[in-house]
């Protein structure tokens, strides 16, 4: 083994390292976990006890020589790569431009449409209390949305949770000010759901609220028709009866998407109609709970999932694409500012 060590010492002394590639080859050959020195240290375990001292000393000399050779090569490599050696007149590589995320683009466009008719943006916390998410919105104590299966509660503070909808901002705004109130509320929300092509444990909503004297169901329909025409370019909508604890009456808004292509048949299930949001007149109990006189004021509210609207606009078939930050998915959105 001593002869083998001496041979390696001579090899290392004779090696010339001129660039980074040679330095890396040297490191791999001698100093890596699969290198020659590591093999020798494994063999050292089998050396007889009376020879261990002499062999061990020579092994350390070999290791120090290899380490010194590699460390000394680093200054040589740095000198080769010093900026003074580069030609700064050579054009640099192209810097690729980024893009806005499709959800940001869609949210911006929705907000701008409603801002044109007097709405302004309101925001609220994502960690909320039970009152603003449920009780203040007329959710009864036994409502299934309060269950752990649907909601992320804070374990150490059971009265706090990750908001399940941006309707909590409606309650906060109604508590802060008296009508007229005309707001849209975009934001991230959370639900305890398995992640799939059509569902996610976090997603984005945008909701709207308009409260004033003599606000009617007809006002709501006209407002939402204006939005649909401005955003989708579609001229026909319909309202179907539905149920939400905080609105009465409640409705689902459908857009006539048409049946002009195979994709239209698929996404509308052959009906031509496509649901895009829920809406309704604000329940008088919700107004009263926030300190607004339901005898004097009325209003309407609506809400939609931003991911759903983006999937319709861009014909995206998997919700998970929005959260993966894959540049191949994001590249087509460059320039859509």
Q: Which residue(s) pair with 121 in the sheet?
A: 184
Q: Assign residue 261 a region: left if phi > 0, alpha if psi is -120 to 50, beta otherwise?
A: beta
Which pLDDT score, from 0 to 100, does residue 238 have? 94
What average pLDDT does range 201-228 have in this prediction? 95
* Pair 81, 230 in one domain: no
SS3 of 18, please? Answer: coil
Q: Per the domain annotation, does 94 fall within a domain? A: no
**Residue 151 corresponds to which tokens in the numbers above?**
């909601």
**Residue 142 corresponds to which tokens in the numbers above?**
């036994």
What average pLDDT does range 239-244 have in this prediction? 94
pLDDT for residue 168 is more than 60: yes
Residue 46's domain comprises 2-85
Dihedral sign computed on CA atoms, order 278, 333, 190, 119: negative
Distance CA 305, CA 206 (A): 7
Which pLDDT score, from 0 to 100, does residue 31 have? 81
* Pair 61, 108 in one domain: no
| 303 touches 279 (CB < 8 A) | yes
* Pair 130, 58 in one domain: no
Choose between 13 and 299: higher pLDDT: 299
Using 50, 70 and 90 to split pLDDT, how confident is the model at 84? low
pLDDT for residue 68 is more than 90: no
What average pLDDT does range 189-197 have in this prediction? 83
The backbone torsions φ and ψ at residue 317, rounded to the nearest 5 degrees and listed phi first, read -105, 0
Q: C-alpha distances in angstroms, 186 versus 126, 164, 206, 266?
A: 11, 13, 4, 29
pLDDT for residue 265 is more than 90: no
* Pair 187, 227 in one domain: yes
Using 50, 70 and 90 to split pLDDT, how confident is the model at 335? low
Q: Per the domain annotation, does 293 fall within a domain? A: yes
pLDDT for residue 174 is more than 80: yes
Q: Last residue of a domain, which of 59, 85, 111? A: 85
pLDDT tens digits for 17-32?
878 788 888 888 878 8
* Pair 118, 256 in one domain: yes
We report the CATH number of the domain holding residue 299 as 3.30.930.10
pLDDT for residue 79 is more than 60: no
**Residue 196 corresponds to which tokens in the numbers above?**
């799939």
Which pLDDT score, from 0 to 100, does residue 319 have? 87
* Pair 66, 187 in one domain: no
Using 50, 70 and 90 to split pLDDT, how confident is the model at 255? very high
* Pair 158, 299 in one domain: yes
> What is the pTM for the complete model shown?
0.68
Find how far residue 164's CA is from the centre of its chain. 16
- Count of domains for the chain: 2
What average pLDDT does range 209-228 have in this prediction? 96
The chain-wide mean pLDDT, for the chain, equals 86
* Pair 43, 145 in one domain: no
Q: Per the domain annotation, does 32 fall within a domain? A: yes
* Pair 34, 139 in one domain: no
Q: Per the domain annotation, does 92 fall within a domain? A: no
SS3 of 255, please? Answer: strand
Using 50, 70 and 90 to split pLDDT, how confident is the model at 147? low
pLDDT tens digits for 119-138?
999 999 999 998 999 888 88
Find how far residue 243's CA is from the centre of its chain. 30
């Amino acid at each position: 083994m001593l002869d083998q060590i001496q041979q390696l010492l001579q090899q290392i002394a004779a090696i010339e390292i001129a660039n980074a590639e040679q330095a890396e080859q040297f490191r791999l050959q001698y100093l890596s976990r699969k290198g020659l020195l590591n093999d020798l240290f494994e063999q050292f375990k089998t050396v007889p006890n009376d020879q261990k001292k002499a062999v061990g000393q020579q092994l350390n000399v070999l290791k120090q020589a290899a380490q010194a050779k590699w460390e000394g090569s680093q200054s040589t490599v740095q000198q080769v790569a010093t900026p003074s050696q580069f030609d700064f007149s050579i054009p640099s590589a192209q810097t690729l431009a980024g893009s806005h995320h499709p959800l940001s683009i869609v949210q911006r466009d929705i907000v701008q449409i409603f801002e044109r008719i007097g709405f302004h943006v309101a925001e609220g916390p994502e960690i909320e209390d039970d009152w603003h998410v449920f009780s203040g919105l007329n959710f009864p104590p036994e409502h299934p949305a309060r269950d752990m299966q649907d909601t992320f509660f804070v374990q150490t503070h059971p009265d706090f949770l990750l908001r399940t909808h941006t309707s909590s901002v409606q309650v906060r705004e109604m508590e802060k000010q008296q009508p007229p109130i005309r707001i849209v509320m975009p934001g991230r929300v959370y639900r305890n759901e398995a992640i799939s092509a059509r569902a996610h444990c976090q997603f984005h909503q945008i909701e709207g609220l308009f409260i004033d004297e003599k606000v009617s169901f007809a006002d709501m329909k006209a407002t939402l028709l204006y939005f649909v025409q401005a955003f989708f370019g579609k001229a026909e909508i319909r309202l179907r009866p539905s149920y939400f604890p905080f609105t009465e009456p409640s409705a689902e808004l459908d857009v006539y998407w048409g049946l002009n292509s195979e994709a239209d048949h698929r996404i509308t299930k052959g009906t031509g109609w496509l649901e895009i949001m829920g809406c309704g007149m604000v329940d008088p109990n919700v107004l009263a709970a926030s300190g607004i006189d339901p005898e004097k004021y009325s209003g309407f509210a609506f809400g939609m999932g931003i991911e759903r609207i983006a999937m319709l606009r861009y014909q995206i078939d998997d919700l998970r694409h929005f959260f993966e930050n894959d540049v191949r998915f994001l590249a087509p959105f460059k320039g859509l500012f």
